[in-house]
């Protein structure tokens, strides 16, 4: 595999992908609490105070907002003595279940998790096992982004999630049962820290936004003993997110004559791609998948196309496959397996002048109006990570496509940060319905509003690709190049 050094800080032209609104999901403090005996029975419909009680439709909205789970916040309220103190105190969970009555039948859900675990011995025993824990502090005011949230200005601390793979919109009763662990406090810490005592613990049902906020705050965790983070070891995939979507693609289009502007038709190489992140139930990335197609090639140079990605300090194993059109046979000589650490350059389409042969009498593919269209190669890649990755340290959409030009040995990056000295970019990322101009048609003539976009460094005219001169466009639509 050829090694390229990619500047991952290059700014990309980012496309805003709309997501369903979760404005109606607002965290609510519940009436029932976990009493001093450590055994809580929580009516999930019953909202504390004078607030309107929740409906089954409300609970279903919470479930959808949290990707098929219900998230609860706990106000940890333990005696500040021994190693427990105002700034750090905790409890551990012995048992938890959620029961929902739907059509007169009880459905029980027992898969749950928190952000922390510890090794603990139960009362009367000395052997330790792993239990989920809840850690917090006393009297802290949590100021969330939503002032109407039930945890806004409160001292809620930790979250517990319950997996609910069943719709709850028709439920007539939903009850959370939670029992704290009776630890062997005679052993000292960590058992003495994670026992339960003192008063009661308040409970709230929370939105994904508020749950993520509390998880990030991680109240009291720095001073707590023997804190184990299960999110750092759990490689099982619980959900998948597609960029730009599960059915859509980005289109990356390049000019290959950098630093010369050339004909500036942006069809030297056009490649469609999409990427999927797999997440564990704690919201960390555990695997990556991608696929794409060669769409057009209007270059005389020999080009490579790839993606630069980073996963912080985490490495893994990457597999790439290339499939020939007209049958989809895998080209084993172009399919590779490689080990990486942190940063990875996936060279997905190599030596495109040899890979994709034009029609006789032409030098190009899918850029000339008089030449029939032809389907291009398909690629796929998968990345198995060695350990879960915090999304904040990983590459974000639309990622970093690049072009390598063999004849000039130039590496061309996508985005407005990669320009020549006249301020022209050489790699653009568009939605899949974008069509490249015909051969030697300046993209500014094909898309008149692009000039505004470039002159403003990408701040104005962001939808320049919606206004095109159809007389100089090929009918190269996704219906043709997807196969």
pLDDT digits 0-9 by tens, 329-383: 999 888 899 999 999 999 999 999 999 988 887 889 999 988 999 999 999 999 9
Burial (CB count <10 Å: 0-12, 13-18, 19+), residue 89: buried
With a CB cutoff of 8 Å and minimum separation 6, the contacts of 5 are: 411
Q: DSSP 3-state assignment of 210? A: helix
Residues 6+ apart with CB under 8 A from 58: none
N residues, the chain: 483
CA 125 vs. chain centroid, Å, equals: 42
pLDDT at 438: 94
Planar angle of CA 97, 200, 48, nearest 5 degrees: 75
Which of 82, 71, 114 is closest to 219 using CA atoms? 114
Dihedral of the alpha carbons of 463, 465, 470, 472, in degrees to the nearest 10? 140
Which residues of the chain, if any, have pLDDT below 70? 1-23
């Amino acid at each position: 595999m050829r090694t390229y050094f990619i500047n991952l800080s290059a700014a990309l032209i980012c496309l805003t992908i709309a997501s369903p609104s979760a404005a109606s999901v607002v965290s609510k403090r519940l009436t029932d609490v976990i009493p001093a005996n450590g055994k809580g029975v929580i009516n999930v419909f019953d909202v504390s105070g004078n607030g309107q009680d929740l409906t089954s439709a409300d609970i279903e909205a919470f479930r959808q907002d949290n990707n098929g789970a219900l998230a609860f916040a706990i106000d940890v309220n333990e005696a500040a003595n021994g190693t427990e103190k105002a700034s750090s105190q905790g409890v551990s969970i012995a048992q938890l279940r959620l029961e929902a009555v739907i059509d007169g039948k009880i459905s029980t859900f027992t898969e749950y998790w928190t952000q922390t675990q510890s090794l603990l011995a139960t009362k009367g025993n000395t052997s330790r096992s792993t239990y989920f824990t809840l850690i917090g502090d006393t009297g802290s005011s949590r100021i969330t982004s939503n002032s109407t949230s039930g945890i806004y200005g409160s001292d809620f601390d930790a979250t517990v999630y319950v997996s609910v793979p069943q719709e709850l919109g028709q439920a007539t009763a939903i009850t959370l049962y939670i029992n704290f662990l009776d630890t062997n406090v005679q052993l000292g810490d960590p058992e003495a820290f994670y026992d339960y005592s003192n008063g009661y613990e308040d409970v709230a049902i929370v939105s994904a936004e508020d749950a993520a906020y509390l998880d990030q705050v991680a109240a009291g965790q720095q001073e707590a003993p023997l804190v184990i983070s299960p999110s750092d070891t759990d490689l099982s995939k619980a959900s998948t997110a597609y960029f730009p979507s599960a059915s859509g693609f980005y289109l990356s289009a390049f000019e290959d004559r950098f630093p010369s502007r050339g004909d500036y038709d942006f069809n030297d190489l056009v490649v469609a791609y999409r990427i999927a992140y797999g997440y564990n139930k704690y919201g960390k990335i555990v695997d990556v998948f991608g696929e794409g197609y060669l769409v057009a090639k209007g270059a005389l140079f020999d080009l490579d196309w790839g993606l630069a990605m980073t996963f912080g300090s985490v490495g893994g194993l990457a597999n790439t496959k290339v499939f020939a059109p007209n049958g989809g046979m895998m080209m084993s000589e172009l399919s590779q397996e490689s080990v990486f650490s942190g940063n990875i350059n996936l060279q997905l389409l190599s030596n495109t002048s040899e890979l994709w042969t034009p029609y006789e009498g032409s030098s190009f593919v899918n850029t000339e109006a008089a030449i029939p269209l032809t389907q291009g190669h398909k690629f796929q890649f998968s990345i198995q990570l060695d350990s879960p990755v915090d999304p904040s340290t990983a590459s974000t959409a639309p990622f970093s496509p690049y072009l390598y030009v063999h004849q000039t040995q130039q590496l061309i990056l996508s985005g407005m940060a990669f320009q020549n000295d006249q301020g022209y970019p050489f790699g653009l990322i568009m939605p899949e319905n974008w069509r490249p101009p015909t051969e030697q048609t300046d993209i500014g003539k094909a898309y008149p509003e692009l000039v505004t976009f470039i002159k403003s460094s990408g701040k104005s005219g962001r939808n320049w690709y919606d206004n095109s001169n159809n007389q100089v466009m090929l009918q190269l639509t996704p219906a043709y190049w997807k196969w």
